[in-house]
């Protein structure tokens, strides 16, 4: 972890090289400056889907509440059973889920019992019905190997007073169900992160307007919108900002005032960055990096007032790659998911040869698929230009080639990161 207190301190550390910043290092530097939101709201559990828990959820009860049966069969006293032959017991009643047997089992007695039903007082084990033969009010049961067979103990899932869920836990369907199972209808979650974003570039035209010569549609704002909404952020779309110092300065001021995080695309590459840099130097503390990665070399990170700022490259694919590799992590942390794990990678066979020069980490777009024999393999989407957005749409994973890696012959094992489910 970086020990720098301010972004300026960071630039004075011995291994700080803004012109060749390893992916891991950049992630680490960013992480050192993130502090999660603290505002909390209480919501009914269904409304918390996609939010982050702001408190431990303490179980008010034992789960399960009672000793209960894991099988359909007969509740018995283990002491009544012979160890090497069938035992015949008298059936004195039944215990159904939600309708327990009211009495107490005496010696020589059994109770018909269903899965999930409460074990009657006096009983301690269950003989599954496949190992029992009933005839009128008598049942012959086979031996059991030990006391407690086919029963589930009260509190074996959760004990009353124990934390069922911890603060920082993202709430998914399993967590909503879990809270409901404890009878909890409302819970404290962190407020949504507010993220403002805009595009810069005089060549950009908003969707719905005809293209003039040399103009292109602004696609990054749509991609970023999708990525942010999937992450559960509140989005503030500020549109396309003209490439003038005045307009850019005003946009940064407005964004930083109203949001926790400001994301821009374009305008951070060499040449273009100069005036953006001057503007940001006036408004806050922002570092400009050349990341040792492909695509996505230029990246700016810093603070404008209390807002975190990510200046992503302009190229549409580079926007997505840098978002997945840097912004996603940071947003999860800021949302309060302080134990979020890094994106997992898997090793898989690559069927296409890949050209690569050592020196940068590459994130190629890949298609993971399974052949008729059940073997999984990956191939690239083809042309890997950082403006080729169709490659992101065809891809279902990144193929990650480490910094020192050279050309990859077909048939090599490579690391992949699945795209679906990441966000």
Say which residues have a Cβ less than 8 Å from residue 108's Cβ, sequence separation at least 6.
80, 89, 90
Interface with Mg ion (CB under 5 A), residue from 266, 295, 298, 313: 266
Looking at the Cβ atoms of 269 and 403, the one nearer to ligand AMP is: 269
From 19-27, 104-112, 260-268, 395-403, span contacting ligand AMP (CB under 6 A): 260-268
User: Burial level of 132, CB count in 10 A (0-12/13-18/19+)?
Assistant: buried
Contact between 218 and ligand AMP per CB under 6 A: yes
User: Burial level of 247, CB count in 10 A (0-12/13-18/19+)?
Assistant: middle
Looking at the Cβ atoms of 264 and 352, the one nearer to ligand AMP is: 264
From 80-88, 119-127, 254-262, 266-274, span contacting ligand AMP (CB under 6 A): 266-274
For the chain, the residue count is 423
What distance in Å separates the CA atoms of residue 274 and residue 265, rounded to the nearest whole number? Answer: 15
Contact between 316 and Mg ion per CB under 5 A: no
Cβ(334)–Cβ(305) below 8 Å: no
What does the DSSP 8-state code read for residue 191?
P
What distance in Å separates the CA atoms of residue 14 and residue 340, rounded to the nearest whole number? Answer: 29
Interface with ligand AMP (CB under 6 A), residue from 267, 295, 296, 311: 267
Contact between 234 and ligand AMP per CB under 6 A: no
What distance in Å separates the CA atoms of residue 306 and residue 313, rounded to the nearest whole number? Answer: 23
Q: Build a one-symbol-per-residue string for 54-83: x at contacts with ligand AMP by CB under 6 A, - elsewhere.
A: ------------------------------
Looking at the Cβ atoms of 88 and 219, the one nearer to ligand AMP is: 219
Distances (CA, A) of 169 to 128, 175, 247: 39, 9, 40
Contact between 199 and ligand AMP per CB under 6 A: yes
Q: Which residue is nearest to ligand AMP (CB)?
A: 314
Contact between 313 and Mg ion per CB under 5 A: no
Beta bridge partners of 363: 400
Contact between 364 and ligand AMP per CB under 6 A: no
Choose from ligand AMP, Mg ion, none: what does 391 bind? Cβ within 5-8 Å by kind: none
Contact between 216 and ligand AMP per CB under 6 A: yes
- Output the DSSP codes for 54-107: SS-EE-SS-BSSS-EESSSEEEE-GGGS-SSS-EEEEEEEEEBTTB---SBPPT
What distance in Å separates the CA atoms of residue 240 and residue 255, rounded to the nearest whole number? Answer: 13
Looking at the Cβ atoms of 117 and 248, the one nearer to Mg ion is: 248
Interface with ligand AMP (CB under 6 A), residue from 63, 164, 204, 400: 204
What distance in Å separates the CA atoms of residue 147 and residue 149, rounded to the nearest whole number? Answer: 6
Q: How many CB atoms lie within 10 A of CB 246?
A: 9
For ligand AMP, the binding residues in 304-323 under the rule CB under 6 A are 313-316
Contact between 215 and ligand AMP per CB under 6 A: no
- Nearest distance from C-beta of residue 52 to ligand AMP, angstroms: 30
Choose from ligand AMP, Mg ion, none: what does 219 bind? Cβ within 5-8 Å by kind: ligand AMP
Size of the residue set binding Mg ion (CB under 5 A) = 4
Beta bridge partners of 366: 380, 397
Choose from ligand AMP, Mg ion, none: what does 313 bind? Cβ within 5-8 Å by kind: ligand AMP
- Nearest distance from C-beta of residue 288 to Mg ion, angstroms: 15
Tokens standing for 158? 């959760």
- Output the DSSP codes for 198-214: EEE-TTEE-TTS---TT
Size of the residue set binding ligand AMP (CB under 6 A) = 18
**3-state secondary structure (DSSP) of residue 302:** strand
- Nearest distance from C-beta of residue 269 to Mg ion, angstroms: 7
Contact between 150 and ligand AMP per CB under 6 A: no
Distances (CA, A) of 421 to 1, 151, 344, 396: 28, 37, 11, 10
Choose from ligand AMP, Mg ion, none: what does 7 bind? Cβ within 5-8 Å by kind: none
For Mg ion, the binding residues in 187-216 under the rule CB under 5 A are 201
- Nearest distance from C-beta of residue 27 to ligand AMP, angstroms: 21
Contact between 201 and ligand AMP per CB under 6 A: yes
Give contact residues for ligand AMP (rule: CB under 6 A).
Answer: 199, 201, 203-204, 216, 218-221, 265-267, 269, 272, 313-316
| Contact residues for Mg ion, defined by CB under 5 A | 201, 266-267, 314
């Amino acid at each position: 972890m970086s020990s720098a207190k301010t972004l300026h301190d960071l630039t004075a550390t011995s291994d700080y090289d803004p012109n060749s910043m390893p992916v891991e290092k950049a992630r680490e530097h960013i992480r050192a400056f993130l502090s999660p939101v603290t505002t909390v709201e209480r919501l009914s559990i269904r409304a918390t889907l996609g939010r982050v828990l702001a408190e431990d959820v303490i179980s008010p009860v034992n789960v399960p509440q009672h000793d209960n049966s894991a099988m359909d069969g007969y509740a018995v006293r283990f002491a009544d059973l012979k160890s090497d032959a069938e035992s015949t017991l008298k059936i004195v009643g039944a215990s159904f889920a939600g309708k327990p047997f009211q009495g107490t089992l005496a010696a020589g007695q059994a109770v018909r019992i269903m899965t999930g039903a409460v074990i009657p007082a006096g009983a301690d084990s269950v003989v599954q019905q496949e190992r029992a033969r009933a005839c009128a009010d008598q049942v012959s049961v086979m031996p059991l190997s030990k006391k407690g067979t086919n029963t589930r103990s009260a509190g074996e899932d959760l004990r009353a007073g124990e934390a069922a869920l911890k603060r920082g836990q993202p709430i998914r369907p399993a967590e909503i169900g879990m809270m409901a199972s404890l009878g909890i209808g409302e819970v404290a979650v962190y407020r949504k992160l507010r993220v403002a974003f805009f595009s810069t570039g005089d060549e950009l035209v908003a969707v719905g307007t005809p293209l003039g010569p040399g103009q292109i549609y602004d696609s990054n704002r749509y991609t970023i919108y999708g990525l942010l909404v999937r992450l559960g952020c509140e989005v503030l779309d500020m549109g396309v900002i003209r490439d003038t110092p005045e307009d850019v300065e005003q946009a940064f001021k407005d964004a930083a005032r109203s949001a926790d995080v400001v994301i821009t695309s374009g305008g951070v590459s060499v040449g273009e960055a100069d005036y953006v840099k001057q503007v940001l130097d006036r408004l806050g503390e922002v570092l400009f990096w050349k990341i040792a990665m492909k695509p996505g070399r230029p990246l700016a990170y810093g603070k404008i007032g209390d807002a975190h700022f990510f200046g992503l490259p302009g190229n549409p694919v580079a926007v997505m790659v840098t978002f997945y590799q840097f912004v996603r992590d940071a947003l999860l942390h800021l949302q309060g998911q302080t134990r979020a794990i890094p994106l997992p990678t898997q090793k898989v066979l690559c069927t296409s040869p890949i050209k690569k020069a050592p020196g940068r980490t590459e994130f190629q777009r890949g298609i993971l698929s399974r052949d008729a024999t059940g073997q999984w393999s990956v191939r690239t989407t083809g042309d890997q230009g950082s403006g080729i957005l169709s490659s992101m749409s065809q891809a279902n994973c990144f193929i990650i080639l480490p910094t020192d890696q050279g050309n990859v012959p077909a048939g090599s094992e490579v690391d992949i990161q699945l795209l679906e489910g990441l966000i």
